Copies of this chain bind each other. A is one copy, B any other.
Amino acid sequence: MKPTIYEVAKKAGVSIATVSKVVNNTGRISDKTKKKVTEIMHELEYHPSSVAAALTGKQTFTIGVLVPDISNPFFAEIARALENSAREKGYGIILCSTDYQSERENDYLEVLFKKQVDGIIIATESSDWKVFEKMHRRNIPLLMFSIDHPAFSSHVVTTDDVRGGYLAGRYLLDKGHRHVAMIAEIDRVSGRLRLEGLKQSLMDEEIMLDEGLIISSKSKIDEAKVAAQKILKLENRPTAVFASTDLIAAVFINEARKANVSIPNDISVIGFDNTIHAELTDPGLTTIAQPIPDLACYAIHQLLQSIEKPNSSGHRIMLSPELIERASVKDLNNM
């Protein structure tokens, strides 16, 4: 069947220790035997078993990634970026969609632990960090991705949502908008932070955001439709809307069109996330892009750090998002 290190050793006329050394390029072995062994390995199509290696204390070169739902384009992007960065460092990823259920999250963590993954990246907004504490006690490196909580002692890598909201607000102000509304995911931390950023930008111009202009909605098509209609029906309609996610923004654009409200002529829209939706709306959606590849890169880097030397205290890395200008915001100046 599958050849083992013994077969190779025997055929090459050396000990398994020697073979192991040439495989891992450790210890001292003469070029001659090195060559010989390498040849035999090819001949036999020998591939060392990571499983056996892991048992001796080596890493598994596998990291677990917990996301709420990979079929959501935003998390798909994240998974993709994480996978990419991980691969560059020689790691594979085990994907876990928790479906926002903390029970499933629990189960997956258990499985990952048993599989002896080298680390876990958590991008689910769990309500319950007791499980994380448990993992932490078990000394398995964790990294919180795009989520944060003062209680976390592990590494945290997030987008600076406040700044993102601020950027959006600042941009609208620069374009002459004074009367803006927001459709916010207020049940999520990131949603609240984005709102906070918007408020701060308006504050710069001494504008107070009226509570009536803050509409709550999850990032789901149905809810977003309702939220959009609320705004469109406002008697004193704002000149611009900041949507907490691109999906919400995309839905808003559609609803606006149905209501015969032109984007951006009658009302401007700005989104958040720069997912594929932003490119497919008409007009193209101006939005705040999360630096996902950078986030992923930092995340993997930090995680590998704490794999190398455990118990190093957790850093918090916050990357600034960036505004991507398309065509959904109208310039109100010099008109």
Interface of chain A: mostly helix, strand, loop or mixed: helix
Known: A55-B52, A221-B280. A93 touches B94 (CB 8 A): yes
Q: Does A103 contact B (CB under 8 A)?
A: no
A110 within 8 A of B: yes
**Interface size class of chain A, counting residues whose CB lies under 8 Å from the partner chain:** 35 or more
Residues of B with C-beta under 8 A to A1:
139
Residues of B close to A332: CB separation below 8 A: none
- A326 at interface by CB-CB < 8 Å: no
Q: CB distance A73 to B73 under 8 Å?
A: yes
Which residues of chain A (81-116) have a CB below 8 Å from chain B?
83-84, 92-97, 108, 110-116
A23 CB, min distance to chain B CBs, angstroms: 11
Asked whether A130 is an interface residue with its Cβ less than 8 Å from the other chain, the reply is no
Within 8 A of B (CB), among A206-240: 221
Is A33 on the interface with B (CB-CB < 8 A)? no
Among A147-155, A195-203, A250-258, the one that faces the other chain is: A250-258
A-B contact pairs, 15 of them (CB 8 A): A47-B114, A49-B116, A55-B55, A62-B94, A69-B80, A70-B70, A70-B83, A71-B73, A73-B76, A73-B276, A76-B76, A83-B95, A95-B95, A251-B280, A277-B280
**Known A1-B139, A247-B280; further 13 A-B contacts with Cβ < 8 A:** A47-B110, A49-B55, A49-B114, A50-B114, A70-B70, A73-B76, A73-B276, A92-B96, A92-B108, A92-B115, A221-B279, A221-B280, A257-B282
